[in-house]
Amino acid sequence: MEIQNQTNQNSDSNNQNSNNTNAILTNTSDTYSRSKCNVQNPDLSDNDIVILAIETSCDETAAAVIQNGRTVLSNVISSQIAMHTLYGGVVPEIASRKHMEQINQVIEMALSEAEVTLDDITAIGVTYGPGLVGALLVGVAEAKAIAYAKNIPLVGVHHIEGHISANYIENPDLEPPFMALVVSGGHTHLVLVKEYGEYEIIGRTRDDAAGEAFDKVARAVGLGYPGGPKIDKLAKEGNLHAIEFPRAQVDGFPYDFSFSGIKSSVLNYINTCEMKNIEINKADLVASFQNAVIDALVSRAISATKEYGIGKLAIAGGVASNSALRLSIKEQCEANQIQLFSPSPIFCTDNAAMIGVAAYYEYMNGTRHGLDLNAVPNLKLGQRV
């Protein structure tokens, strides 16, 4: 087993710096990452709310311990990317089996890292949708078992609300209302966050999610899975204006997205070049594709934030870790005097820390779920069961 230690510096909006240490343990099939942010040696009091959070919506088995909604005491992730890469994408049955193998170990690591036991936990937070139904069921069953065994409250969390809540971890001054651009493999939304736990969708994709388009284009040019990080890396070597791909507009819905047209244009370009025996510059191709997607995302997010007069914009989801997107939206926010909030990359991809933060605010709002809580793979943002 190979162990790598990485140490980075993170700062919050108060310019308080803390060491963020990620230890990645790798064997033949599993990768564990362990991260801390705003870490304290938990001298817990009776007034502290301590959430044990579980996330298994796709191909990461994750557990975290969150103190009082904003302090991450531990954040452990077991990634299956290496295994699913062999198949060119996530295989749901394999993901479910791997979750079953790893869930207990990941929770034990999270509790140990946080220096707490189950007796210190106030409530259990768990993702119950949306996601892969088999994968979700593993986390939900585990959370219900712990809640029953320890007689503590169970709080179900919407996965996308978790992504939005990731912004609270490193930004202690961030409070609703604000606009959120949620960009992931399965979702692309513009969301008005009115209050903790209160959301209004003002824009959504009509077809492919942005992350889905990245994966499909990466596969078409031979980069493989996962497509987002590989396109992000190769695009840095290309000319983002080499090829002009379309930016679709949805009539009557100025903040909705459509990425199937961009994806189809890329595929048509590749086919045309192959038929004419024209060599394709892959770096230029993916840089131009990425630029078109980012332009569509950023332009709508900026316009919506200005129209609603909020002045605060947050980004969330796995694609929010894309370096070109982060740079573009930062520049546009500065140009339009909008305050930007963005999680560190480790809190953009699927993790349990974000679920714990969302669970804390749901818990404070009085949300409690019974032992009949079930996985809801198509759960809508803002929907409650």
CATH class of the domain whose range is 2-170+348-364: alpha beta
pLDDT band per the 50, 70, 90 thresholds, residue 34: low
At 51, list the tokens: 């959430």
State residue 31's pLDDT score. Answer: 54
Question: How much is the average pLDDT of 36-57?
Answer: 77
The total number of residues shown for the chain amounts to 385
Top-confidence residue, 3 or 93: 93
Quote the CA–CA distance of 19 and 196 in Å, as a whole number: 28
State residue 179's pLDDT score. Answer: 98
CATH architecture, range 178-342: 2-Layer Sandwich (3.30)
Residue 298 has pLDDT above 70, yes or no: yes
Residue 16 has pLDDT above 70, yes or no: no
- By CB neighbour count within 10 A (0-12 exposed, 13-18 middle, 19+ buried), where does 377 fall? middle
Residues forming beta bridges with residue 74, ordered by sequence position: 65
pLDDT winner (highest mean) among 28-32, 77-81, 235-239: 235-239
Percent of the chain with pLDDT over 90: 80
Quote the CA–CA distance of 227 and 230 in Å, as a whole number: 5
CB atoms within 10 A of CB 282: 17
pLDDT tens-place string over residues 229-273: 999 999 999 999 999 999 988 889 999 999 999 999 999 999 999
Quote the CA–CA distance of 349 and 364 in Å, as a whole number: 25
CA angle 61–290–304, rounded 5-degree value: 85
State residue 129's pLDDT score. Answer: 96
For residue 341, give the H/E element and its range.
strand 339-341
Contact (Cβ atoms closer than 8 angstroms) between residue 22 and residue 59: no
Place of tokens 């990080």: 229
Quote the CA–CA distance of 60 and 369 in Å, as a whole number: 23
State residue 12's pLDDT score. Answer: 39
Report which residue type is found at 286. V
Contact (Cβ atoms closer than 8 angstroms) between residue 74 and residue 50: no
The per-residue DSSP string of 81-129 comes to: HHHHHTTTS--HHHHHHHHHHHHHHHHHHHHHHHT--GGG--EEEEEEE
Of 207, 205, 150, residue with least CA distance to 183: 205
Question: How much is the average pLDDT of 286-297?
Answer: 97
State residue 335's pLDDT score. Answer: 98
| Pure H helices in 115-249 | 133-150, 159-165, 210-220, 227-235
State residue 33's pLDDT score. Answer: 61
Top-confidence residue, 8 or 57: 57
For residue 358, give the H/E element and its range.
helix 352-364
The mean pLDDT of the chain is: 89
CB atoms within 10 A of CB 251: 6
Quote the CA–CA distance of 172 and 339 in Å, as a whole number: 14
pLDDT band per the 50, 70, 90 thresholds, residue 384: confident
State residue 39's pLDDT score. Answer: 45
Residue 276 has pLDDT above 50, yes or no: yes
The per-residue DSSP string of 261-308 comes to: HHHHHHHHHHHHHHHTTPPP-HHHHHHHHHHHHHHHHHHHHHHHHHHT
Lowest mean pLDDT, pick from 26-35, 80-89, 137-146, 352-361: 26-35
Question: How much is the average pLDDT of 162-174?
Answer: 96
State residue 41's pLDDT score. Answer: 43
Question: How much is the average pLDDT of 6-18?
Answer: 35
Quote the CA–CA distance of 197 and 241 in Å, as a whole number: 40
Name the residue ranges covered by the structural domains of the chain.
2-170+348-364, 178-342
At 181, list the tokens: 């651009």
